[in-house]
Structure 1
Amino acid sequence: MTVSGTYTWLGRSLRLTGRRAAELTHAAAVYLGIAVLVTVSLSFVVPSLRDQSQQIHAALLISLKPGSVTDDGSGLSLAERLSGGQVDLSSGRGAADDGAAADEEEPQTFADALSALDSFSIPGVTKVQSQALRSYIARKYRIAHDVAGVLIHTVFAVAPEKDLDPLLVLAVIAIESRYNPFAESHVGAQGLMQVMTKVHQDKFERFDGGAEAALNPIANIRVGSQILHDCIQRRGSVTGGLACYVGATGPSDGGYGAKVLAERRRLSLASGIPPRL
């Protein structure tokens, strides 16, 4: 090989090495930039996730603990009182109730209701209709069959207390949270019926845990149903009440009411239970 050929070969080798080094440096810079972005993002996200996980943990302890929300002095859990006939979930009153308002009855925990599911019945609804409704909700919204049963029975117990159609409440839950009890919106609406906890904090005071009970499915249904009832009374109609519930101040609710009413029709068709207008 001649001297000029040697220099040419060396030059090519150096240029190739330089390009590879530049590519390596560029790749390292890109990965370093990604690492920095991830680190910065996590510094903002992790505290929020930690707070949310603590909130969910607290709510789970409230909703799943074996005791009742308040103690009636009997020493029995709600499940034991249900099995003994002391509490009728369909009416929200005890067997020895003297006519006191249902809202004064002790709120139940989700775990108690789940354990007593087999003893529940819905007045005016056949077992076939109840099972069809449960299957529809469990399949469409991908929740456990027993959980769907507890939510349905809770709604059919609570809604009449508030002069509401149970299928309407179930439809609101479907549109608001798709039956996710831990759902939370960017504005702070929480739970199955997406209750604005900060606005309605006083309504959770009678529940163990206060505002954290918004993630308790049964507490959320009770408070959400009360808010929906108040909205319908204020606006004078179901459609107006739904617009109020979603926070619409003008004539348009963005199609929210139509979605809820359409889902109520689907629930009725799937179960054979007529809407209570």
Structure 2
Amino acid sequence: MSDTQFDSLLRRWARGLVSQLGEVVHVSAIYLGIAVLVALMAVLVLPSVQDQARQAYVATLYALHPDGDQRSAPGASTVPAEEEEGLRPGTVPGSEPPGMEQLFAERRHSGPGARLEALQRQFDQMLLDNPDRLPLADISPAQFQALRSYLTRKYRIAQNVAGALIYVVFKEGRERGMDPQLLLAVIAIESRYNPFAESHVGAQGLMQVMTRVHRDKFEALGRGPAAALDPIPNVMVGMQILSDCINRRGSVQRGLACYVGATGPSDGGYGAKVLAERRRIALASGIAVAPG
């Protein structure tokens, strides 16, 4: 082999080696970039996930022990003493300024807070008793059973839970002058009766209340933001928001557009979905749809 041929072969070998090394570096850079992106996403997302899990945990404890001290809840003995002071109904430790605990205690025993406590006790009793009729004069046992059966089958919720929610919605809805079947339809479209549902924009609970926006309404009930995951305060606040929307916009259709946050002429079909579900609920229960 001549020197020229040897040099040519050596150059080809060197180019091949450089090309292979370039590919290795390129692939390594891609994987390193992916690893960095995953690490950044973990740093950004994990605190939010932990906070949501904490809210769900606190709300669950309160739902199980609405009238008792959180420290007596199952498993509470495993919480460090320095954290126990923050575990009270509707509160995430460190989320409230000094003095809010006393304010919440006062509100729970007066005005809307007292009404919430009474409604919570009635809800709990309905869960335990699972009666075949509602203690409401304008709904027959047959209508109640038909409505409960519809919600149980369609949304896969327990029969006693469906019955207790129907009671709360009809009782509170009647008090506010609202159509209870419209409220049941809003819950169906918003969360499919999942009290722990949360949207990508932070709407929470049965009626998908924007907790950050309506924090003051939960505080008026004597609760903190975690109460959005508790069915009864969520429904009460959701009803108040929807009622305000309907009164402000002048009709149910426009009120629903307001509730879903539509600012233009179209609500993306939200109102049509809710009203269609209200018709299905009315048909299943045999309860006439309220005018308006």
TM-score by length of 2: 0.67
CA distance in 2, matches of 1:177, 1:115: 20
User: Deviation at 1:170?
Assistant: 0.2
Assess, with a 3 A threshold, how the Cα gap between structure 1 residues 29 and 143 changes in structure 2: closer, same or farther: farther
Assess, with a 3 A threshold, how the Cα gap between structure 1 residues 194 and 156 changes in structure 2: closer, same or farther: same
Paired residue for 1:54? 54
1:112 and 2:112 are equivalent in the alignment: no
Q: For the Cα contact (< 8 Å) 2:130–2:160, is it kept in 1?
A: no
Paired residue for 1:153? 167
Name the stretch that deviates more: 221-230 or 161-170: 221-230
Paired residue for 2:246? 232
Q: How many residues align?
A: 245
User: Deviation at 1:118?
Assistant: 3.2
Paired residue for 1:17? none
User: Deviation at 1:252?
Assistant: 1.8
Q: For the Cα contact (< 8 Å) 1:110–1:218, is it kept in 2?
A: no
| Residues 157-172 of structure 1 mapped to structure 2, 5 A cutoff | 157-172=171-186
Runs of 5+ unmatched residues, structure 2: 1-23, 70-111
Paired residue for 1:13? none
| Residues 238-257 of structure 1 mapped to structure 2, 5 A cutoff | 238-257=252-271
Name the stretch that deviates more: 29-38 or 105-114: 29-38
AA paired with 1:202? D
Give the 3-state SS of the residue equivalent to 1:125 in structure 2: coil
Paired residue for 1:44? 44
Paired residue for 2:216? 202
User: Deviation at 1:242?
Assistant: 0.9
User: Deviation at 1:184?
Assistant: 1.6
1:135 and 2:149 are equivalent in the alignment: yes
* Post-superposition CA distance 1:87-145 (Å, at most 9, x none): xxxxxxxxxxxxx9x95873415872444443584332222221221121122122222
Assess, with a 3 A threshold, how the Cα gap between structure 1 residues 211 and 184 changes in structure 2: closer, same or farther: same
Equivalent of 2:200 in 186, 196, 201: 186
Q: Cα RMSD between the aligned structures? A: 3.7
CA distance in 2, matches of 1:115, 1:53: 25
Q: For the Cα contact (< 8 Å) 1:117–1:149, is it kept in 2?
A: no
Assess, with a 3 A threshold, how the Cα gap between structure 1 residues 127 and 263 changes in structure 2: closer, same or farther: same
User: Deviation at 1:250?
Assistant: 2.6
TM-score by length of 1: 0.71
Paired residue for 2:286? 272
AA paired with 2:118? E
Q: For the Cα contact (< 8 Å) 1:246–1:253, is it kept in 2?
A: yes
Sequence identity percentage = 60
CA distance in 1, matches of 2:224, 2:277: 31
AA paired with 2:203? A
Give the 3-state SS of the residue equivalent to 2:277 in structure 1: helix
Equivalent of 1:218 in 222, 232, 238: 232
Paired residue for 1:77? none
Give the 3-state SS of the residue equivalent to 2:289 in structure 1: coil
CA distance in 2, matches of 1:132, 1:36: 55
CA distance in 1, matches of 2:30, 2:262: 46
Runs of 5+ unmatched residues, structure 1: 1-23, 70-99
AA paired with 2:230? N
CA distance in 2, matches of 1:68, 1:113: 15
AA paired with 1:237? S
